[in-house]
């Protein structure tokens, strides 16, 4: 029975990805900064582990506890909303520590077992905003674009070992807590110079007629990335993400 390790499973995409794999009889290692046993259905094929991807010792302990895995899904991350000029460097470093460096560090910890077995899949969940320049999210977009570049180069290196890497690019998902979590990382939005832009952007976010991404869209895309060797490197997830991807082809 194959095992998948998924980060950021306490809510949103990570939680739905874990449910998706459990429903298909996989063993699931669901990791969270603060483990909770009440968010996923009880199962003999489920383990919930503590994991802070910014902490090397936490990574070491989680990978050791997980044992052999077939698929790693790097999903943990958060957003930052701020004009580029006004984004505190501490906030830039924080979003890169989780979204970029945490993804890289956990991947490095898992790759030796994949390489030695000459099998394994790394699925990195980034964002469709890497396909299109949007205002007020420069630091967040950069942190995800860096993962895209890292993943694509890594794919070339690992091909001879039978290890695959894929990217899943979700769109905007109002049904998740991503927006709520990002509110703690907003800076400079009350600055007079950017008032007009901020008003325009938030009005677009409030438009309920626009296509959006659902958590199940992301789970299905991750499943495809993990199980279909013919899947493309970049897989948009959600109606809005698919539309943006079609625009840039």
Residues 31, 8: Cα–Cα separation, whole Å: 6
Looking up residue 116, the CATH number of its domain turns out to be 3.40.50.720
140 catalytic residue (yes or no): yes
Looking at residue 184, its pLDDT comes to 65
pLDDT of residue 160: 98
**Does residue 176 contact residue 13 with C-beta atoms inside 8 Å?**
yes
At residue 210, does pLDDT exceed 90? no
Half-sphere exposure of 221 (CA within 13 A, CB side): 31
Total of domains in the chain: 1
The model's pLDDT over 196-205, given as tens digits with 9 standing for 90+, comes to 999 999 888 7
pLDDT at 248: 79
Q: What does the alpha-carbon distance between residue 89 and residue 145 come to, in Å, rounded to a whole number?
A: 18
Q: Are 12 and 215 in contact (CB under 8 A)?
A: yes
Q: How far apart are the first and last CA of the chain?
A: 38
Q: How far is CA 104 from the centre of its chain?
A: 12
Host domain of residue 93: 3-248
Confidence of residue 209 (pLDDT cuts 50, 70, 90): confident
Asked if the model's pLDDT at residue 163 lies above 80, the reply is yes
pLDDT at 221: 98
H/E element, 8: none
* DSSP for 10-69, written as a single string: SSHHHHHHHHHHHHTT-EEEEEESS--SSSS---TTEEEEE--TT-HHHHHHHHHHH-S-
Q: Which two tokens stand for residue 55?
A: 């902490």
Judged by DSSP in three states, 164 sits in strand
CA proximity to 243, closest of 215, 224, 225, 217? 217
- 127 φ/ψ angles, rounded to the nearest 5 degrees: -165, 150
pLDDT at 204: 82
In whole angstroms, what is the distance from residue 123 CA to residue 224 CA?
Answer: 10
Strand partners, 167: 124, 234
Tens digits of per-residue pLDDT, 65-94? 999 999 999 999 999 999 999 999 999 999
CA-only gyration radius of the chain, Å: 18
Are the beta carbons of 27 and 92 closer than 8 angstroms? no
The pLDDT assigned to 181 comes to 59
Rounded to two decimals, the pTM is 0.94
Better pLDDT: 181 or 225:
225
Please give the Cα distance from 185 to 110 (Å, whole number).
30
Distance of CA 7 to the CA centre of its chain: 8
Mean pLDDT, the chain, integer: 94
Share of the chain above pLDDT 90, in %: 87
- Cβ within 8 Å of residue 200, ≥6 positions away: none
* Candidates 13, 21, 114, 140; catalytic one: 140
The pLDDT value given to residue 182: 56
């Amino acid at each position: 029975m194959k095992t998948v390790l998924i980060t950021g499973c306490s809510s949103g995409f990570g939680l739905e990805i874990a449910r998706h794999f459990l429903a298909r009889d996989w063993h699931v290692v669901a990791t969270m900064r603060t483990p909770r046993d009440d968010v996923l259905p009880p199962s003999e094929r489920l383990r919930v582990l503590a994991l802070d991807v910014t902490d090397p010792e936490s990574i070491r302990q989680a990978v050791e506890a997980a044992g052999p895995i077939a698929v790693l899904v790097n999903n943990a991350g958060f957003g930052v909303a701020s004009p580029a000029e006004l984004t505190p460097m501490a906030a830039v470093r924080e979003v890169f520590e989780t979204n970029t460096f945490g993804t890289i560090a956990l991947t490095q910890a898992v790759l030796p077992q994949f390489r030695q077995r000459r099998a394994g899949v790394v699925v990195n969940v980034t964002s469709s905003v890497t396909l299109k320049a949007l205002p007020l999210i420069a630091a967040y977009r950069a942190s995800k674009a860096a993962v895209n570049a890292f993943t694509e180069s890594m794919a070339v290196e690992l091909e001879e070992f039978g290890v695959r890497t894929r990217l899943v690019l979700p769109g905007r998902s109002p049904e998740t807590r991503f927006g709520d979590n990002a509110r703690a990382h907003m800076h400079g939005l009350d600055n007079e110079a950017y008032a007009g832009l901020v008003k325009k952007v938030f009005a677009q976010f409030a438009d309920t007629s626009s296509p959006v991404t659902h958590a199940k869209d992301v789970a299905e895309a991750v499943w495809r990335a993990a199980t279909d060797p013919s899947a493309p490197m970049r897989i948009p997830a959600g109606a809005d993400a698919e539309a943006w991807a079609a625009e840039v082809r």
